[in-house]
Amino acid sequence: MYSNPNYGAGNLHHSQSVSSRRGYTPSYSNQPGYSYSPGPPSGADPQLWQWFSAVDTDRSGSISVNELQAALVNGNWSSFDLDTVKMLMNMFDTDRSGTIGFAEFSGLWKYISDWQGVFRHFDRDRSGSIDGHELSEALRTFGYNLAPSLLVLIEQKYASAPTSGYGPPPGITFDRFVRACVTVKTLTEAFQRVDSDRDGWVTISYEDFMKIILNAP
């Protein structure tokens, strides 16, 4: 079994998914040009606070998009896709400050950890990436029975670029898998809101169509 994450905002360390960068040692001393880092909030998980402090490299007390991207890597040590990082920031930046504080980071960390369980469950061959068959199984388990042509488009859109002309296709890395699943959920829910009779067909204005697409992750 696996922990099925709540796809929306709300409520990292595995060799095949996400971890902090190896060899990074945060400095907790005050440095010129930086403010003092406050202590952990009352009741905070000490390990989670240590991770937060390591990611908060400028000691501002909050984490920017660039800091978060620098801290997140896939199982193959590739950096997280910037669009995925922005999606995560948008989901958990509840006060719309453009950064995430410790409380927001706690929710983000749990969300990523839950997705790790999902990723490991469907990565049947333990390749560290999701292929077309694994993607189809995952989406079907989530309740999305998509046509083969749509599955091919999703795989092509979110698969990592090939690094060489040899070997199997690179597949979908952890970060892109999360974004693909969230995008399918977001677009499906947007369609269902206007498909009032649930027949799978809608009449929609160009403006509303563009809003749906542009609001997708």
CA distance 88 to 22: 22
pLDDT band at 11 (very low <50, low <70, confident <90, very high): very low
79 three-class SS: strand
* Predicted local confidence at residue 43, as pLDDT: 81
Q: Is the pLDDT confidence value at 87 over 80?
A: yes
- Give the domain range for residue 77: 46-214
The contacts found for 40-46 with CB under 8 angstroms, 24 or more apart, are 40/102, 41/102, 41/103, 44/102, 44/106, 45/106
For the residues 112-124, what does the mean pLDDT come to? 95
Give the residues across from 19 on adjacent strands.
73
CA distance 143 to 136: 11
**Greatest CA separation for the chain:** 63
Structural domain contains residue 99: yes
CA distance 80 to 72: 6
State the average pLDDT for the chain: 83
Spatial contact of 87 and 185, defined as CB atoms under 8 Å apart? no
* Predicted local confidence at residue 55, as pLDDT: 94
Spatial contact of 217 and 180, defined as CB atoms under 8 Å apart? no
Spatial contact of 179 and 83, defined as CB atoms under 8 Å apart? yes
* Predicted local confidence at residue 66, as pLDDT: 96
Structural domain contains residue 158: yes
Alpha carbon separation from 184 to 22, 145, 158, 178 (Å, rounded): 32, 11, 12, 10
Structural domain contains residue 153: yes
Structural domain contains residue 32: no
Tell whether pTM > 0.85: no
Q: Is the pLDDT confidence value at 82 over 80?
A: yes
Our count of domains for the chain comes to 1
Please tell me which residue, 10 or 133, carries the higher pLDDT value: 133
- Lowest mean pLDDT of 3-12, 84-93, 154-163, name the range: 3-12
Supply the CATH number for residue 104's domain: 1.10.238.10
